[in-house]
Amino acid sequence: DAGVTQSPTHLIKTRGQHVTLRCSPISGHKSVSWYQQVLGQGPQFIFQYYEKEERGRGNFPDRFSARQFPNYSSELNVNALLLGDSALYLCASKIRGENMNTEAFFGQGTRLTVV
Amino acid sequence: AQSVTQLGSHVSVSEGALVLLRCNYSSSVPPYLFWYVQYPNQGLQLLLKYTTGATLVKGINGFEAEFKKSETSFHLTKPSAHMSDAAEYFCAVSSSGGSNYKLTFGKGTLLTVNP
Of A33, A40, A41, the CB nearest to B102: A33
pLDDT of residue A98: 60
Enclosing H/E stretch for B31 = strand B31-38
A49-86 b/e with 16+ CB inside 10 Å = b? bbeeeebbebebeeebebebeeebbbebebeebeeebb
pLDDT of residue B54: 86
Q: Please classify residue B46 by burial: count the beta carbons closer than 10 Å to its beta carbon, then call 0-12 exposed, 13-18 middle and 19+ buried.
A: middle
Of B95, B99, B108, the CB nearest to A42: B108
Omega cis (within 30) before A8: yes
Among A10, A57, A101, the strongest candidate for a mutation testing the B interface, having the largest count of B CBs within 10 A, is A101
Alpha helices (H) along chain B? none
Q: Give me the sheet containing A64-68, strands edge to edge.
A: A5-7, A19-24, A74-78, A64-68
Q: Work out the end-to-end distance of chain A between its first and last CA atoms, rounded to an integer number of angstroms.
A: 36
Q: Please classify residue A36 by burial: count the beta carbons closer than 10 Å to its beta carbon, then call 0-12 exposed, 13-18 middle and 19+ buried.
A: buried
Chain B residues touching A50 at Cβ < 8 A? 101
pLDDT tens digits along A72-99: 999 999 999 999 999 999 999 988 766 6
Its sign, for the CA torsion A104, A28, A66, B28, is negative
A22 to chain B, closest Cα gap in Å: 15
- Report mean pLDDT in 10-residue bins for chain B, 115 residues: 92 97 89 92 91 90 95 97 97 71 92 96
* CA atoms within 13 Å, Cβ hemisphere of B72: 13
Chain B residues touching A107 at Cβ < 8 A? 43
pLDDT tens digits along B11-32: 999 999 999 999 999 987 778 8
Chain B residues touching A106 at Cβ < 8 A? 36, 43-45
The pLDDT-based confidence of A102 (bands split at 50, 70, 90) is: confident
